[in-house]
Amino acid sequence: MLPCRFSYFGRMVTILAVVVCVLAGLFLSSPARAAGFPQKGKAVQMLVGFAAGGSTDVGARILASGLEKELGTAVVVVNKPGASSQIAYTALTQARPDGYTIGNTNFPSAVVSYLDPVRKATYTRKNFEPLALHVVDPGLFAVKTGSPFKTLREVVDAAKANPKKVTISTTGIQSDEHFAILQLQKMTGAQFAMVHFSQGSAPALTAILGGKIDVFCGNVGDLLAQFKSGEVRILGIMDNEETPFYPSVKTFEAQGYRLYGSSSRGFSAPAGTPKEIVNILSGAIKKAVATDEHKKRMKEMGLTLRYLDPTQYTKYWDEYEATLKELLPLTKE
Amino acid sequence: MQRIYQAAALGFIGLSAFVVWESWNLEYYTTLGPGPGFFPLWLGVAMGGLSLVWLVRISGRSGMPKDVALFPQRAGIVRILSILAALVVMAGLMNLLGFQLMMFLFLVFLLMGLGRQAFWVTLVVALLGSVGLFHLFGGYLDVPLPVATVKLLANLGL
Amino acid sequence: MDAIQNLFMGFTVALTPQNLLFAFLGSVLGTLIGVLPGIGPVAGVAMLIPLTFQMTPTGAIIMLTALFYGTQYGGTITSVLLNVPGEAASAITCIEGYEMAKQGRGGAALAIAAIGSFIGGTIATIALVLAAGPLTRWALEFGPVEFFALIMLGLSLLMGLAGKSMLKALMMGIFGMLLAMVGMDPVRGLPRFTFGRMELMDGIGFVPVIMGLFGLAEVLENAEKQFAQVFAAKMSSIIPSRKEIRDSVGPILRGTVIGTLLGLVPGMTGSASSFLSYIAERKVSKYPERFGTGVIEGVAGPETANNAHANGALIPLFTLGIPASPTVAVIMGAFMMHGLIPGPFLFKEHPDVAWGVIASFYVGNVILLILNLPLVGIWVKILKIPYGLLFGVILAFMVVGAYSVSNSAFDVLVMTLFGLIGYLLRKLDFPLAPIVLTLILGPMMERSLRQSLDMSQGSLGIFLQSPIALVLLALAALILIAPAFKLFRRGKGILN
């Protein structure tokens, strides 16, 4: 019963407000439905935490166009670069878990962003629902072709004999190269002088070709041009199998160092996305990845396809996180 | 007008103090070289020193540019503040209410409110600026301008 | 000569109707993207890549590279006419170009800029054809140590920017340097001055800052009075005067050298090149105090430099397979997506593609010159729109432009804040140019210093071991000490 002192007008307004609120509540709280996902005409947003045109972005866009065919609805890539993807991850974990928002989750940036307290991330591992691993870019060591280092062993031995004298490049603090080198140091007792090139691999490449740095540490996708022209000698691949991009280059494992480092790119949905939707999305990614067209494009970009389904990806994530957790304090030294 | 310059100088000094204080908490020097706090600290000190010198200079001599109406009349200040306020509101609500609605309101406010433009001109430009730019950037330039997060508006396509 | 023969072959490829069309399309789109504030060449190239899948590799690359150096032409337009930097490398053109526009000489400024851009781009391409090898070897000499020395030289030229007040220029330089320190530091990777905001972890965005400092501040200043007509009612001829042409020759030549050489060095941005050209012009000019009032040298030099830079940055891609700038990295991706790996062997395996693309650089620059010169008359008409309407349109584009940098509304706020700051600084008669200089060079300085010290494990001796670094540092020291000498001699203190 409305108080008498409210005018007629006031009462009408109040009733109207209540009606609007109820309607809004109805609109705002519709639960995620698996049946009929994805609805035709409703686009799926793919959040990418790196700028347009970069390697991650290109890979994501290629997948997005494949996904569109599999899902039957538009897949729109939205770039939200910044803070090594933290902005994109924040947006992803805060999005509605209805399957219409998925995002790129790259390692190590995703894991570092919530493990490192300095980053003040608003999310943790629990806020992600892994969908699929897409590509893996294994790490490698390389030297300039005229360099005195002919094998991986020579590099490690030199770093052991002369601590902090062998210079090696990374693509930034807490990059996958940084972690890989820390692991190698732990494993062998070698000590490298790490030089961080956070502006990408181009300045690092210049430094190695110009003879300013002894060893280039990067990923398989970085040296396609230089390998072809014979300007670099790749000493080892940090993977459990050799890479087709650089035939005749042995793995670290084969040379006695059980080091597996890589930067990898996968996709996740916000936690709470219903299981059926997760399976639909992951299945679609699997099919998109298996097409010849997709494989061809990934090969041209120098990216190594390695699909893992949600369960496998979760396991991979957990293992990766455990490794990083140990190494993280070392990156602060 | 001297007061204004002095206020500005004090502003710079305040900024310098803030910078020095923040840098104090950062690592000054690492084993290999200047740490994160090194340069900001010294830059802050330098800025503070220079600001102090400036303050002394403008307070001392009478060689100040006299009678230069430094700041505009009341109407001008209102216009300037309105533009700034409109921009802040635009930035703040763009994600909530969607680009198109906000830009439409923004342009109407600026053109009719401040620019004293005619109604029809404003309407055309505002529509082009909101819906037009939305489709231009979203469709052709790969820049997805925000759509409203408020469900009601999102369902309307805004 | 072998190269010339190959070049002729390249022309036969580049001048096919299809490839001409692609060059034309790329040029037009590039100009438009350059005009739109905020969207830069990286986004432009990236956006076009999917469209190029249906095209031949040669055609695709021709279009994308035309777009790339086309943006350098387009960025000038809004800088000169509206004081809104169309993209980062055009920021410095605002300072002189806009003054010229206000005096009715905007047409001449744009014309000289187009001509200078053409000369810069073409000569850089000639350098690619004739001297790619030596130039690349030169570029490889620039490791972190030499890079640091180069940046220090650039910073020392800050002294050359002091117009009336060295004190104020220094304060602004320091201010810019402090702004450059916002974000993750290069030593520890810890956030500095970010107030806990993720968006600041990569630093304050350069493009929103300059859009605010120049574009928005200008609008605010015009808002002081009722929106009267801002621009000189009578636009003098759009053809530059004889004197203007004569005065531009030196800056254009110097700008070409600066742009080409710096474009080769990975890590150097187009804005750094154009900026260094500006201060170089100021240094060699007989009338340095006139800078800031609309001096053609301040347009001719930087505009030439940024185009020479864009074309120069393509050289390491062909000779080493290294992208010297982010846009070139995207173009490299485009190469790869068409199944080609750029590098020296491209000339052996696909000479038609390699030389066809190089020849198209000439063609593209010619197309852009032909496109842009007549368009000057049209662009200039924009200024006739009543400011009460124009300012709203400008602000709308600036909002979208600032947003589009990172798809973030936060950048719009940054632009707004710096609009206010820029306005206040102008009122208090502080020069803005030093801020831009240190904002560009600051991060590079800290990063390369850290990298150098990482290499030497803390020893400063590494700087003494590099001849190039020594020369550059000595030059820097000379430039810093010289004015001090002069001032001491005159008997005044440093505080004039």
Dump pLDDT digits (tens) for C225-240: 777 666 655 556 677 8
> Hey, CA dihedral for C250, C251, C254, C260, is it positive or negative?
negative
Cβ separation of A205 and C322 shorter than 8 Å? yes
Cβ separation of B43 and C39 shorter than 8 Å? no
Give the pair of three-digit tokens for residue C476: 């820097």
pLDDT at res. B98: 86
- A305 reaches C (C-beta below 8 A): no
pLDDT at res. B147: 82
Which CATH superfamily includes the segment(s) A138-255?
Periplasmic binding protein-like II (3.40.190.10)
- Cα angle for residues B4, B6, B10 (degrees, 5° grid): 115
**Distance of alpha carbon A209 from alpha carbon A206, whole angstroms:** 5
pLDDT at res. B4: 82
CA separation (Å) from C412 to C45, C195, C415, C418, C421?
Answer: 23, 18, 5, 10, 14
| Predicted confidence band of residue A34 (pLDDT cuts 50, 70, 90) | low
**Distance of alpha carbon C110 from alpha carbon C102, whole angstroms:** 13
Of the candidates C98, C99, C86, C22, the one whose C-alpha atom is nearest the C-alpha of residue C55 is C22
pLDDT at res. C176: 94
pLDDT at res. B83: 92
Tell me which residue has tokens 């299809």: C18
**Distance of alpha carbon B54 from alpha carbon B48, whole angstroms:** 10
Tell me which residue has tokens 């494990």: C457
Residue A264: in which H helix or E strand, if any? strand A262-270
- C446 reaches B (C-beta below 8 A): yes
Residue A234: in which H helix or E strand, if any? strand A232-237
Cβ separation of A27 and B142 shorter than 8 Å? no
**Distance of alpha carbon B19 from alpha carbon B42, whole angstroms:** 9
A174-226: pLDDT as tens digits: 999 999 999 999 999 999 999 999 887 888 999 999 999 999 999 998 899 89
- Name residues whose C-beta falls within 8 Å of residue A198's C-beta, 6 or more positions apart in sequence: A171, A172, A173, A175, C186, C447
Q: Is the pLDDT of residue A32 over 70?
A: no
Q: Is the pLDDT of residue A234 over 90?
A: yes
* Chain B environment of C389 (Cβ under 8 Å): 111, 115, 117, 121, 125
| Predicted confidence band of residue A160 (pLDDT cuts 50, 70, 90) | very high
- C329 reaches A (C-beta below 8 A): yes
For C340, nearest residue in chain A (alpha carbons): A300
Alpha helices in chain A (DSSP H): 8-28, 55-71, 86-94, 109-115, 152-161, 176-188, 201-209, 224-228, 275-290, 292-301, 310-327
- B144 reaches A (C-beta below 8 A): yes
Nearest Cβ partner of B111 from C175, C192, C389? C389
Nearest Cβ partner of C409 from B12, B19, B94? B94
Greater confidence, A12 or A49? A49
**Distance of alpha carbon A328 from alpha carbon A321, whole angstroms:** 10
Of the candidates C204, C230, C208, the one whose C-alpha atom is nearest the C-alpha of residue C84 is C208
Q: Where are the domains of chain A?
A: 44-136+262-332, 138-255
| Predicted confidence band of residue A1 (pLDDT cuts 50, 70, 90) | very low
Burial (0-12, 13-18, 19+ Cβ within 10 Å), A325: exposed
Give the pair of three-digit tokens for residue A43: 């686009």
Alpha helices in A189-243 (DSSP H): 201-209, 224-228
Most confident stretch, A250-264, B140-154, C328-342: A250-264
Q: Is the pLDDT of residue A4 over 80?
A: no
Tell me which residue has tokens 């059926």: A276
B84-130: pLDDT as tens digits: 999 999 999 988 888 888 999 999 988 888 878 888 888 888 888 88
- Name residues whose C-beta falls within 8 Å of residue C324's C-beta, 6 or more positions apart in sequence: A202, C139, C263, C264, C265, C266, C267, C268, C312, C313, C314, C315, C316, C317
Give the pair of three-digit tokens for residue C367: 């197309």
Nearest Cβ partner of C198 from A82, A174, A231? A82
The number of beta carbons lying within 10 Å of the beta carbon of residue A171 is: 21
Nearest Cβ partner of B151 from A28, A76, A78? A28
CA Rg, chain C, in Å?
A: 22
CA separation (Å) from B9 to B49, B52, C174, C420?
Answer: 11, 7, 14, 17
Greater confidence, C41 or B19? B19
Residues of chain C with confidence (pLDDT) below 50: 494
* Model pTM score: 0.87
* Chain B environment of A24 (Cβ under 8 Å): 151-152
Say if residues C437 and C159 touch (Cβ distance below 8 Å): no
Q: What is the DSSP letter of B34?
A: B
Say if residues B128 and C389 touch (Cβ distance below 8 Å): no
Please name every residue paired with A267 in a beta bridge, in sequence order, or none if there are none: A104, A132
Of the candidates C127, C131, C80, C135, the one whose C-alpha atom is nearest the C-alpha of residue C298 is C80
Residue A131: in which H helix or E strand, if any? strand A128-144
Q: What SS3 class is residue C85?
A: coil
- Give the DSSP per-residue string, C121-184: HHHHHHHHHHHHHHHHHHHHT--HHHHHHHHHHHHHGGGGG--S-HHHHHHHHHHHHHHHT-EE
For A213, nearest residue in chain C (alpha carbons): C455
Burial (0-12, 13-18, 19+ Cβ within 10 Å), C106: buried
Region of residue B142 (phi > 0: left; psi between -120 and 50: alpha; otherwise: beta) = left
* Chain B environment of A76 (Cβ under 8 Å): 144
Q: C288: cis peptide before it, omega within 30°?
A: no
- b/e burial code for range C142-173 (CB count within 10 A of at least 16 → b): bbbbbbbbbbbbbbbbbbbbbbebbbbbbbbb
Cβ separation of C188 and A197 shorter than 8 Å? no
Nearest Cβ partner of A206 from C266, C337, C344? C266
- Name residues whose C-beta falls within 8 Å of residue C365's C-beta, 6 or more positions apart in sequence: C69, C117, C118, C121, C122, C125, C307, C311
Residue from B140, B151, B155 whose CB has the most chain A CBs within 10 Å, to mutate: B151
pLDDT at res. C491: 56
- C494 reaches B (C-beta below 8 A): no
Q: Is the pLDDT of residue A277 over 50?
A: yes
For A53, nearest residue in chain B (alpha carbons): B142
pLDDT at res. A2: 45
pLDDT at res. C351: 87
Tell me, yes or no, if the two domains A44-136+262-332 and A138-255 fold the same way.
yes
Residue A266: in which H helix or E strand, if any? strand A262-270
Of the candidates B34, C184, C456, the one whose C-alpha atom is nearest the C-alpha of residue A198 is C184
CATH of domain A44-136+262-332: 3.40.190.150
CB-side exposure of A269: number of CA atoms within 13 Å? 24
Q: In the complex, which subunits touch B with 3 or more CB pairs below 8 angstroms?
A: A, C
* Chain B environment of A52 (Cβ under 8 Å): 142
Cα maximum dimension of chain B: 67
pLDDT at res. A281: 92
Of the candidates B34, C331, A250, C165, the one whose C-alpha atom is nearest the C-alpha of residue C340 is C331
Give the pair of three-digit tokens for residue A77: 């890539």
Nearest Cβ partner of B76 from C36, C225, C413? C225
Residue A267: in which H helix or E strand, if any? strand A262-270
Interface of B with C in 115-134 (CB under 8 A): 115-117, 121, 125, 129, 133
- Name residues whose C-beta falls within 8 Å of residue B76's C-beta, 6 or more positions apart in sequence: C223, C224, C225
Amino acid at A24: A
Strand ranges inside C254-393, DSSP E = none
CB-side exposure of C75: number of CA atoms within 13 Å? 35
**Distance of alpha carbon B146 from alpha carbon A27, whole angstroms:** 19
The number of beta carbons lying within 10 Å of the beta carbon of residue C257 is: 18
pLDDT at res. B139: 77
The number of beta carbons lying within 10 Å of the beta carbon of residue C250 is: 15
**Distance of alpha carbon C438 from alpha carbon C170, whole angstroms:** 10
